[in-house]
């Protein structure tokens, strides 16, 4: 499985270390909140709302340079809209990898 990285954040912030730190701070704050929201929606089988959470999380996936994972999330979002949890395990593995990476920052 591909690994998260800070390439996009580094490219975006350039030499501005303050901006880089701000972006990482936002990521560290928002990612766990969004994952928790998604988890609650899945626990309550509210698939339409879970699909919306997956849509938001796709942006974090992209920011962390996970190109293949983005496509899995995209397909999973469609599945949830169709009341299917196909790809759930793959998506939740991606979330775990992202969370572990962000926790180390």
Domain ranges of the chain: 7-103
Q: What pTM does this model have?
A: 0.94
Binned at pLDDT 50, 70 and 90, residue 4 comes out as very high
- What pLDDT score does 1 carry? 77
- What would the pLDDT profile of 37-95 be if each residue is shown by its tens digit? 999 999 999 999 999 999 999 999 999 999 999 999 999 999 999 999 999 999 999 99
101 band by pLDDT with thresholds 50, 70 and 90: very high
Of the candidates 44, 54, 96, the one whose C-alpha atom is nearest the C-alpha of residue 79 is: 54
Q: Sign of the CA dihedral 39, 42, 43, 48?
A: positive
What SS3 class is residue 82?
Answer: coil
The answer to whether residue 98 scores a pLDDT higher than 90 is yes
> Which residue carries 């990285």 as its tokens?
5
Please give the pLDDT value at position 60.
Answer: 97
């Amino acid at each position: 499985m591909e690994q998260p990285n800070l390439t996009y954040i580094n490219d975006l912030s350039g030499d501005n270390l303050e901006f880089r730190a701000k972006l990482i701070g936002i990521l560290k704050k928002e990612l766990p909140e969004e994952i928790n929201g998604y988890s609650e929606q899945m626990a309550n089988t509210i698939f339409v709302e879970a699909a919306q959470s997956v849509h938001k999380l796709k942006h974090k996936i992209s920011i962390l340079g996970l190109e293949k994972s983005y496509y899995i999330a995209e397909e999973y979002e469609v599945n949830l809209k169709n009341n299917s949890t196909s790809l759930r395990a793959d998506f939740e593995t991606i979330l775990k990898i992202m969370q572990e990476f962000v926790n180390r920052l």
